[in-house]
Structure 1
Amino acid sequence: MARIGYARVSTADQSLTAQQAQLTAAGCEVLYSDVMTGSVASRPEWDACRKALRAGDELVITRLDRAGRNLKHLLEINEELDEKGVTLKVLDLAIDTSTASGLFAMHLAGAFAQLERATISERTKIAMAGRARGRNGGRPKALSPKSLSRAQDLYDAGNLTVKEIAAAVGVSQATLYRSLAKNGARGSST
């Protein structure tokens, strides 16, 4: 029986080091690593890893999404491993498919991971549609352009203290100073 580890990152600017250290600490004798998206079913090192697996071996990954990106793909992988007599261990979720509860946990975790990705994608599409309509999102400005102009005029007049001006436009003194400075306001440094 061999314990074989597989690590994957999506882009070259990400590091495999942490995953490889976890797999080595988990007792993996052989490590395979890819630098490419998990949405691609065929990856060079992933394919070599699966080919090297023999009955009785354990395939160890750090997270479930390192092997596949959706539930269907994860189930296909698990079926392939099961037919070969190979168990899958997922370190972060303590999943071990050699047990019924581990197999159930893998299915459940895969379904939640797919739901999370779909939710993120949905929110991104909504935000992009909002941007196309001119909405940038985020927190609204503390001072509207009209209030900022009024605050600048009051500040320039010199009849009120900063505390009084801030109260008049409904912001804190710090927000007033910041807004005046960002706006390149006249005399905001005093």
Structure 2
Amino acid sequence: MKIGYARVSTADQNCNYQVDKLREAGCEKVLVEKESGKSKYRPELTRLLDIIRNGDTVVVYKLDRLGRSLKDLIALLDSFKEAEVQFISLSESIDTTTSTGKLIFNVIGAIAEFERDIIVERTKAGLEAARARGRKGGRKQKLSDKQVKLAKSMLQDPSVLKSDVAKHFGISRPTLNRYLDSAPDLEQNSLF
């Protein structure tokens, strides 16, 4: 079955032209979405993904009607491929039922994979450069070793509450407890 998907960004816009082109292309069913492409909430796209079956063909008027971004589009096209669903974009002449369309689809997929690999390489290189300069990854420490020792000495006084010490350092009580637990060299005499 050929299933068409048409989308306009707002409820005010008209998608009759898209619907007409999808019907001309032989779509038996056309789902019409009136949501921004940037919106994650697209109920008709969700419905499309629920109703497609092995051997179906999804048809759109233009690629940008389907995906929010290249990454989103690639993910959708990959899900179609896994479900053995064909894909046609009328404006860009992409048709995975043909060998040329499959080639274009695979080129798009290869470019997306290349882009992901480049991002991973850049991230690794950035982390290595930071380590070479003596920087560690992760969240910045909220308390220095000196501050932890000061907190422990403050808690030597039984009248001092942990919540007051935490407030003094601008951290939560659970955070203070984590620091105290990780540096057990001083005794904690506070009952609170």
Aligned residues: 111
Deviations 1:21-46, CA, capped at 9 Å, x for gaps: 00111110011011011122441111
Following the alignment from structure 1 to structure 2, what is the Cα–Cα distance between the partners of residues 53 and 72? 21
Structure 1: state its 5+ residue gaps: 111-190
Q: Taking structure 2 as the reference length, what is the TM-score of the superposition? A: 0.53
Distance in structure 2 (CA, Å) of the matches to 1:50 and 1:31: 13
TM-score (norm 1): 0.53
Match of 2:61 in 1: 62
Q: Specify every segment of 5 or more residues in structure 2 that has no aligned partner in the other structure, as ranges.
A: 110-192
Residue aligning to 1:144: none
Q: Return the letter of the residue paired with 1:88.
A: F
Q: 1:42 to 1:84 in 2, by over 3 A?
A: farther
CA deviations 1:108-151 (Å, max 9, x no partner) are 679xxxxxxxxxxxxxxxxxxxxxxxxxxxxxxxxxxxxxxxxx
Instruction: Tell me which residue corresponds to 1:52.
Output: 51
Q: Which amino acid aligns with 1:54?
A: R
Give percent identity, aligned residues only. 39
* Aligned residue identity for 2:96: T
Task: Tell me the alpha carbon deviations over residues 86-112 of structure 1, each in whole angstroms, 9 at most, x when there is no partner.
Answer: 0110001110123453244357679xx
Between the aligned partners of 1:69 and 1:108, the Cα distance in structure 2 is: 19
Residue 4 of structure 2 aligns with which residue?
A: 5
Q: In structure 2, do the counterparts of structure 1 residues 106 and 10 end up closer, same or farther at CA, with 3 Å as the change threshold?
A: farther
> Corresponding residue for 1:36?
35
Whole-Å separation in 2 of the counterparts to 1:101 and 1:77: 19
CA distance in structure 2 between the partners assigned to 1:3 and 1:92 by the alignment = 17
CA RMSD of aligned residues (A): 2.3
Matches within 5 A, 1:22-171: 22-99=21-98, 101-106=100-105
